[in-house]
Amino acid sequence: MNWNLRLVHAISMEFLLLSNGRIFPNQTLHFVHSSYSLQWLSKVPEGIENNKGNIYMSNTSPLNVLKAYYEQFQRDFSLFLKCRAEELVEGGCMVLTFVGRRSENQSSKECCYIWELMAKALNDMVLQGIIKEENFDTFNIPSYNPSPSEVKLDVLKEGSFTINSLEVSEYYIIPYTCAIEYLGCTIADDLFPLFDMYGKVVDIFIPKDRRYILSKHNGFYHDSSTKTLPNVSISLSPLIR
């Protein structure tokens, strides 16, 4: 009897980070697909205490902040590639989709505008005495939206895969999860009216059972140059062992 057994398994990004990279035994996977998760970093980059007034990379961020974000992405992405290469069978395939950017400018509005709006809203809350300035100054988003050239360079540098295709497309809806637990969930009622004022944000969903302020964010509108975000998609095959 030919069972022709096929097993499908889904892993959350949180579990992947906790697992320190490896998930499956060697050479057991035929296909791997990661969708909109690898832009999230395993931790906030170190040494960016001088990124005051921002919660992410921006055109006012010091150069060391931009460098620290990219280096953290490189470390996380390299570990992901290394582990998946060990788990994939010869002839297997991996397709990865990031929220990325077209521009080589790390602080491009393509990827940073939404966080600039959030920083403005949080800064207003500092001025109103709702949150402490030191909490605002030490809060940074653990995410990095890579450009196609950065993804390609890091794949080639890690050395476990060949690139079958690398494409960029765009989409209009922005789903994301970011934990700002230490700021306190009680600020949500004050934060989102300000965020809405700056970004004309609609359709905000905040889970009641999790200590996250921003969980899912759909259908926002801002200026015509930033209505969409780029998707960076790459198809990879492991090198012959």
Residue 230, domain extent: 13-19+26-238
- Asked whether residue 166 is domain-assigned, the answer is yes
- Asked whether residue 3 is domain-assigned, the answer is no
Per-residue pLDDT of the chain (241 residues; tens, 9 = 90+): 444 656 777 776 666 665 567 888 999 999 999 988 899 999 999 999 999 999 999 999 999 999 999 999 999 999 999 999 999 999 999 999 988 999 999 998 878 877 888 888 888 888 988 888 888 888 899 999 999 999 999 999 999 999 999 998 876 443 333 434 444 445 555 555 555 555 444 333 333 333 233 333 322 333 333 445 678 888 889 886 6
Report yes or no: 39 and 175 within 8 Å, Cβ to Cβ: no
pLDDT, tens digit, 9 for 90 and up, residues 1-25 = 444 656 777 776 666 665 567 888 9
| The pLDDT of residue 142 | 92
- Asked whether residue 4 is domain-assigned, the answer is no
- Asked whether residue 96 is domain-assigned, the answer is yes
Q: Give the chain's radius of gyration (CA, Å).
A: 19
Number of domains in the chain: 1
| The pLDDT of residue 115 | 85
- Asked whether residue 202 is domain-assigned, the answer is yes
Q: What per-residue string of b and e applies to 151-165 under the rule 16 or more CB within 10 Å gives b? A: beebbeebebbeeee
| The pLDDT of residue 198 | 53
CATH of residue 64's domain is 3.40.50
- Asked whether residue 8 is domain-assigned, the answer is no
- Between CA 233 and CA 163 the distance in angstroms is 11
- Asked whether residue 74 is domain-assigned, the answer is yes
| The pLDDT of residue 81 | 95
| The pLDDT of residue 45 | 96
Return the DSSP state at 167: E
